[in-house]
Amino acid sequence: MPKCLVTGTFDPPTRGHEAIIEAALRAFDETAVAILVNPEKETMFSVSERLEMLKAAFGERIEAFFYDGMAVDAAEKVGADVLVRGIRGAGDIPYEEEMAAYNRAHGKETVFFFAKEALSDVNSTAARAAILRGENAEKYVSENVAALVTRYRRKKNG
């Protein structure tokens, strides 16, 4: 299969994100991951921190980068033929269908991977809430990402 692009804010990259990226790695020859800007979201972690977390989770198996624009343009930039999106449940489908239609109209197809049932309630919002409460976030993020989250929070809190 050709090269794909997985997009998101990854604030932080969760076990759900990791499962979708792992599925993309199995299905495609090359997988790029773009951190995109979502103007509706206020982020907890800087772009460089999020890139470091993705690198901790995947090493050299992915090409991770930041892009301040549309997903279809990021895909074009890295030569990805397909955009990959994850779906946690039925509530995600209308939004994702709308985005897939936009992508198709701009020359890029979208492939969906459904989240494992055990990860259907895992999302970055819940991860950030656990982090802010000082809880162990490993329900939401992998061990490598959790170690970085702890380091970043200590650095920010002095």
**Widest CA span in the chain:** 48
Q: How many domains does the chain have?
A: 1
Q: Is the pLDDT of residue 158 over 70?
A: no
Given a contact cutoff of 8 angstroms between Cβ atoms, the answer to whether 78 and 63 are in contact is yes
The mean pLDDT of 62-81, rounded to a whole number, is 97
Q: What is the pLDDT of residues 35-63, one digit of tens each?
A: 999 888 889 999 999 999 999 999 999 99
- Spatial CA neighbour of 149 closest among 16, 158, 132, 21: 132
CATH number at residue 125: 3.40.50.620
Q: What are phi and psi of 74, to 5 degrees?
A: -65, -40
Q: What is the pTM of this model?
A: 0.92
The residue among 116 and 99 whose pLDDT is bigger is: 99
Q: What is the pLDDT of residues 111-155, one digit of tens each?
A: 999 988 888 788 898 999 998 898 888 899 999 999 999 888 888
Beta strands, E only, 20-137: 30-36, 63-67, 82-87, 109-114
Range(s) of the domain holding residue 27? 3-157
